[in-house]
C-alpha cells in the first residue's frame, strides 16, 4: 500500500448491517457518506485497493443504465469485482425463494446490490443474508440517488443547511428518499404533486418529524409554482415509473400542469439548478430547453452516482473485516 492510500481501518462505518432505506443511515452517517464521497471524487486513487478480493452480486429486476454502470465501475475502481444477475424476465422469488437466493449468494459474495420492484423483496433478501444488502432502487426508496443528489446540490450551492429545494411531479421513491435525507440535512423541501399522487403519508410524517430537528420544512402542495418559488434546485422525475406503464396515458393527463418549463424555472432562485434522476421523457415532465440549459445539473448528478456509491461501499463493506458475517 502506498503512503497516499487509505486503509480500511481509517474509514467511517455504517452501523446497520444493510442499506434498505435512507433511514438505515443515521444523520451522522449520512453526513459522513457525503464527506467521503467528496474525498473519493477528489482522490480516487487513495481508495483503489480497499475492496481487493471482495466480490459483489448485482441482482436487478429493472432495466438500468446509471445504477448498473456506476456500481460496476465503483466496485472495480475500489479493487473488487462484480457479477450481474439479470432478473428482468422473472422477478426474484419466482424461480426460487428469496430466502434461498440470499443464502446461496452469501456463501459466494461479500455483498448484494439489489434493484427491485417491491421493497418487500429487498427486505426478504436482507432477512436471510449474512452479507450486506444495498438498495439500488425499490418501489419505495432510492437512497443511492438521493445521496448523489445532495452531493451535487452541495457542489453547486455550498453548505446544505438552510437551502430550499422543490420537487415537481410524482410522489414516488425518489421523492421519498429526498424527503428523508433533506429533513436531516437541514434542506427545506416542497413537493408539488397532482391530487392523488402525493408521497406516502407515513414517510411524509417521518420526514416532517425529522425536519423539526434541523429547522428544515417539508411541505406538500398541489401548486408547482408555489413549490418552485425561490428554490435553489427544481427537481423532477418521469411521470410513469417502471411497473406503472398501464397508467401512462392517465398520468399524462393528471400531470400535464406539472411540466418543468422555463416559465416554471423563472419562479425559482436566479441561481437555481435543474435536477432529474434520469432517464427523462423530454417534452413530458421537462422541456428540452430546461434540461439542456446551462443551469441543468442532470449529468453532474449522474456522475456523482459513482462517487456516492463508492462512499457507501467503503463504509458498509470496505470498513469491515472480510470474514465478518451478520
Q: Is 115 a catalytic residue?
A: yes
Q: How crowded is residue 292: how many other Cβ atoms within 10 Å of its Cβ? A: 12
Residue 56 in grid coordinates:
459483489
Sign of the CA dihedral 293, 295, 296, 299? positive
Helix (H) or strand (E) holding 59: strand 55-60
Q: Is 38 a catalytic residue?
A: no
Answer for the pair 163, 137: CB distance below 8 angstroms, yes or no.
no
Question: Coil, helix or strand for 282?
Answer: strand
Q: Is 300 a catalytic residue?
A: no
Q: Which of 305, 307, 309, 320 is catalytic?
A: 305
Q: Which of 54, 176, 237, 301 is catalytic?
A: 237
Q: Is 305 a catalytic residue?
A: yes
Cα 54 versus chain centre, distance: 23
Q: In terms of Cα–Cα distance, which of 232, 236, 237 is closest to 161?
A: 232
Backbone angles phi, psi at 160, to 5 degrees: -75, -35
Q: In whole angstroms, what is the distance from residue 30 CA to residue 317 CA? A: 16
Q: Which of 124, 181, 277, 301 is catalytic?
A: 277
Q: Which of 87, 142, 184, 307 is catalytic?
A: 142
Q: Which of 106, 145, 184, 251 is catalytic?
A: 145
Active centre residues (catalytic):
115, 142, 145, 237, 277, 305
Amino acid at each position: 500500500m502506498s503512503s497516499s492510500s487509505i486503509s480500511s481501518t481509517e474509514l467511517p462505518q455504517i452501523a446497520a448491517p444493510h442499506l434498505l432505506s435512507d433511514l438505515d443511515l443515521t444523520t451522522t452517517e449520512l453526513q459522513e457518506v457525503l464527506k467521503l464521497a467528496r474525498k473519493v471524487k477528489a482522490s480516487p486513487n487513495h481508495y483503489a485497493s480497499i475492496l481487493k478480493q471482495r466480490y459483489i452480486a448485482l441482482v436487478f429486476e429493472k432495466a438500468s443504465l446509471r445504477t448498473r454502470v456506476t456500481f460496476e465501475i465503483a466496485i472495480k475502481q475500489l479493487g473488487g469485482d462484480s457479477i450481474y444477475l439479470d432478473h428482468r424476465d422473472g422477478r426474484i422469488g419466482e424461480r426460487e425463494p428469496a430466502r434461498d437466493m440470499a443464502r446461496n449468494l452469501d456463501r459466494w459474495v461479500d455483498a448484494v446490490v439489489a434493484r427491485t420492484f417491491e421493497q418487500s423483496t429487498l427486505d426478504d433478501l436482507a432477512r436471510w443474508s449474512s452479507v450486506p444488502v444495498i438498495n439500488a432502487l425499490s418501489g419505495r426508496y432510492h437512497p443511492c440517488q438521493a445521496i448523489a443528489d445532495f452531493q451535487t446540490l452541495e457542489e453547486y450551492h455550498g453548505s446544505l443547511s438552510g437551502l430550499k429545494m422543490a420537487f415537481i411531479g410524482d410522489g414516488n421513491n425518489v421523492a421519498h428518499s429526498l424527503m428523508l435525507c433533506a429533513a436531516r440535512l437541514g434542506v427545506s423541501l416542497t413537493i408539488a404533486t397532482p391530487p392523488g399522487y402525493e408521497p406516502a403519508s407515513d414517510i411524509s410524517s417521518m420526514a416532517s418529524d425529522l425536519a423539526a430537528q434541523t429547522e428544515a420544512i417539508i411541505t406538500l402542495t398541489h401548486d408547482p409554482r408555489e413549490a418552485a418559488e425561490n428554490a435553489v434546485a427544481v427537481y423532477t422525475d418521469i411521470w410513469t415509473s417502471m411497473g406503472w406503464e398501464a397508467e401512462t396515458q392517465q398520468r399524462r393527463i393528471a400531470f400535464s400542469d406539472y411540466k418543468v418549463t422555463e416559465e416554471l424555472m423563472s419562479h425559482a432562485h436566479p441561481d437555481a439548478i435543474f435536477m432529474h434522476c434520469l432517464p427523462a421523457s423530454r417534452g413530458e415532465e421537462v422541456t428540452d430547453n430546461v434540461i439542456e440549459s446551462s443551469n441543468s445539473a442532470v449529468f453532474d448528478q449522474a456522475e456523482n452516482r459513482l462517487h456516492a456509491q463508492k462512499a457507501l461501499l467503503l463504509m458498509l463493506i470496505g470498513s469491515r473485516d472480510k470474514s465478518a458475517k451478520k
